[in-house]
Structure 1
Amino acid sequence: MSSIALLGAVELGLIYALVGVGVYLSFRILDFPDLTVDGSFPLGAAVTAVLIIGDVNPWLATGAGVLAGAAAGFVTAFVSVRFGVLHLLASILTMIALFSVNLRIMGRPNIALLNEETVLTPYLGGAIPDEYVRPLILGIVVLLVVVLVALFLRSEIGLAMRATGANVRMARAQGVRTGAQIIIGIMLSNGLVGLAGALFAQTNGFADVTSGVGTIVVGLAAVIVGETFIPGRRIFWALIGCVLGAVLYRMAVQTALSFDFLGLEASDLNLATALLVLVALVLPKLRSKVPGRKAA
């Protein structure tokens, strides 16, 4: 695998690290299986791309993409909390509806951003090669998000949210408004996914209505792989694990596709994804069965 392909995998892994953090909030913190991310990812990309083409400042366009993702999360959480719809079903309904919403926003299946100004444009074309600058800028953004999310989860609202996910009845008995916590958490989760979609559109030069297919699998893979390599219950390290898991996942996929003797092609991406997630799920169970670990 060439250095360009490796840096590209790291770059894409850092973008999907934001998806991993969002999925961690919904699945691990709130125990809320949320498939909305398959729709909120292209939603963030679509809103950002349309605004950038309309000569809106890229940072404002990116912020709008985040708010659009959060709005999608609000719909899912509100339908589930207010009307008692099963969370999985509510998220599926929102995800399906967002496909049409994204088409309506873009007006066509995809939008090109190759010659448009993005949040990365001011940092490109300098003394440092662009292939190094892009992962560096994305790494700073991801690190900032991880720190802010960790601080939020240690705040009073964050602790109430964690209590809601751990035991909703006990949290309600302690006076926590569990419905509000679920709505806030799912909005934050999908807002991060919307940010990932916005950055994906700007780094790859396009927004496509189908770019969200399989996003939930990538997010889950990031969480599971991260927990495999960085086990523990501390929030900050769990979030770092999501980032590491997303990067390792993308590097593993790129490596598998680069090996000619495996016979894999770009069309086999979903197969490689499923196999990697399966390995990440099975590996901890195999490690726990090692005689030395049992004795310990």
Structure 2
Amino acid sequence: MSLFSLFGALEIGLIFSLVALGVFISFRLLRFPDLTVDGSFPLGGAVAAVLISHGLDPFSATAIATVAGACAGLVTGWLNVRLKIMDLLASILVMIALYSINLRIMGKPNVPLITEATVFTVLQPDWIGDYIARPVILAVVVLLAKLLLDWFFTTQTGLAIRSTGSNPRMARSQGVATGTMILCGMALSNALVALGGALFAQTQGGADISMGIGTIVIGLAAVIVGESILPSRRLVLVTLAVIVGAIVYRFFIALALNSDFIGLQAQDLNLVTALLVAVALVIPQFKRRWFGRKAS
């Protein structure tokens, strides 16, 4: 792999670590199988790209895109909590609806940002190449997101969200409004995903209607790989593991696709993802069997 490929993999891995943090909140903390992310990721990219192309500064556009993602998560939570639609079905309905909504927002299948100012062009120093500056800026964003999440989930609201996912009946008996906590958790989850989509559109030079395909698989892969690499029950370490998992996942993908020996091509991306997730799921079983035999 070339140096540019390594920095490119790191860049994409950092972006998808935001997605992985969002997926971690919904799947692990809330126990909510949320497929909305396949729609909220391109939603963030679409909103940011359209606003930037119409002259809004990239920071405000990214913030609005993040709020748009939170609204998508709220709708999914509302369908489940208020209308009593099954969680998985509610997320599928919103994901399908967001495809049409994203097309409406963009007005066409893609919105280019080649000549527009982005968060990265504004913050990039003149003496650093863009292939280095972008990962550095993204690393700062991801670190801030991680620290804020670590802090938030130690607050009363954050602990209520965690208790809602762990044992909703016990949480309700302690006076926790579990419905409200699901709405808050889903909004936070999809806000992070949309933030990743907005930043992805700005690094790739535009938003595309198909950019969200397979986002949920990538997010789950990052969470599973991260938990296999750094198994822990402490939230501070778990969020770190999710970030590491996203980066390692992208490095494996880049290595597989850039290796002449393996001979994989871009259309093999989903196959590589499936194999990587399968390996990550099997590793803990081998660990238990191996250490169990050694203990006996």
- Cα distance in 1, alignment partners of residues 221 and 273 from structure 2: 8
2: CA distance, partners of 1:202 / 1:44: 11
Query: Is the 1:34–1:88 Cα contact (8 Å) retained in structure 2?
Result: yes
Q: Which moves more between the two structures, 73-82 or 275-284?
A: 275-284
State the alpha-carbon separation in 2 of the partners of residues 96 and 102 from structure 1.
10
Secondary structure in structure 1 of the residue aligned to 2:261:
helix
**d(CA) in 1 for partners of 2:267, 2:229:** 28
CA distance in structure 2 between the aligned counterparts of 1:61 and 1:217, rounded to whole angstroms: 27
The residue aligned with 1:171 is: 171
Runs of 4+ in 1 over 4 A off after TM superposition: 291-294
Q: Tell me which residue corresponds to 2:16.
A: 16
Counterpart in the other structure of 2:134:
134
Query: What amino acid is the match of 2:34?
Result: D
Unaligned regions of 5+ residues in structure 2, if any? none
**Residue of structure 2 in register with 1:98 after alignment:** 98
* Residues 1-296 of structure 1 aligned to structure 2 (within 5 Å): 1-124=1-124, 126-291=126-291, 295=295
Deviation of 1:129 after TM superposition, in Å, equals 2.0
The answer to whether the 8 A contact 1:72-1:94 is kept is yes
TM-score normalised to structure 1 length: 0.98
Shift of 1:126: 1.6
Deviates more, 1:169-178 or 1:257-266: 257-266
- Paired with 1:114 and 1:241, the residues of 2 have a C-alpha distance of 34
TM-score (norm 2): 0.98
Structure 1 unpaired stretches of 5+? none
Q: Deviations over 1:228-249 (max 9, x none)?
A: 1111111111001111000000
Return the alpha-carbon distance in structure 2 between the equivalents of residues 282 and 208 of structure 1: 35
In the aligned structure 2, how far is the partner of 1:293 from the partner of 1:159? 38
Query: Which residue identity is paired with 2:75?
Result: V
Aligned-residue RMSD, C-alpha: 1.1
CA distance in 1, matches of 2:105, 2:17: 26
- SS of 1:35's equivalent in the other structure is coil
Q: Give me the whole-angstrom Cα distance separating, in 1, the residues matched to 2:177 and 2:26.
A: 17
Instruction: Supply the AA of the counterpart residue of 1:240.
Output: L
Displacement of 1:83: 1.1
* Matched-pair identity in %: 55
* Higher mean C-alpha deviation, range 170-179 or range 284-293: 284-293
Stretch moving more, 120-129 or 50-59: 120-129
CA distance in 2, matches of 1:129, 1:108: 32
Preserved CA contact (<8 Å) 1:288 1:294: no
